[in-house]
Amino acid sequence: MSRRRTYTVKPRAALLLLLLCALAALPFRVQPQEDWFRTGTGIGVEKVRLAVPAFAARRAEVETPAGVFNSTLWSDLEFSGIVELVSPSFYPLQAPSQLGEMNHAAWSGAPTNAQMVAFGNLQTLGQQLVAEAWLSDVRNPQAAAWERSLLWAATIMQSPGARSNAAQAAR
């Protein structure tokens, strides 16, 4: 006659076996893979600190479009993500509107600490809105300021014209 063996499982061993099965069933934490390609604007590059004082309105009829122009220019530059805009609360009291009014030391020193300043003025030529704009490297006063005179076919009394012109200037 053959004898049959019976095995008894001790409760401690059963609990250990159940715990091991439960741990094996848990998903392992997946480590994120190292990105091979990184895309975006200004990745790994220090942003230029840019101060953009409000463009001065040279005539009273330009004040409303100038307000729209200034707010659109600021918001477009801020949204671009390629520059760090200096808060206007840090600006010197005298904001330039022409190249001769630029005080490099005031804009490059504390608390402004700007690297570049974009400034200019808005005026009219008939029914055209004219913007004179400069971009100055305030840490290098000997460098020539980049200048651009812009003439847009925008009716002065229409704010949407000033808005689209500011968007074009920000590009």
In terms of Cα–Cα distance, which of 54, 64, 79 is closest to 167? 79
pLDDT in tens, 40-71: 666 677 889 999 999 999 988 888 889 999 99
Q: Domains of the chain (ranges plus CATH)?
A: 48-170 (3.40.50.10070)
- pLDDT at position 78 is 92
| % of the chain at pLDDT higher than 70 | 67
- pLDDT at position 8 is 63
- Categorize the per-residue pLDDT at 37 as very low, low, confident or very high, splitting at 50, 70 and 90: low
pTM equals 0.64
Per-residue H/E/C for the chain: CCCCCCCCCCHHHHHHHHHHHHHHHCCCCCCCCCCCCCCCCCCCCCCEEEECCCCEECCHHHHHHHHHHHHHHHHHHHHHCCEEECCHHHCCCCCCCCHHHCCHHHHHCCCCCCCEEEEEEEEEECCEEEEEEEEEECCCCCCCCEEEEEEECCCCCCHHHHHHHHHHHHC
Mean pLDDT, the chain, whole residue set = 79
Q: Which of 99-103, 118-122, 133-137, 139-143 has the lowest mean pLDDT?
A: 139-143
pLDDT in tens, 135-163: 999 988 887 677 666 554 444 444 455 55
pLDDT in tens, 4-15: 766 665 777 777
- pLDDT at position 52 is 96
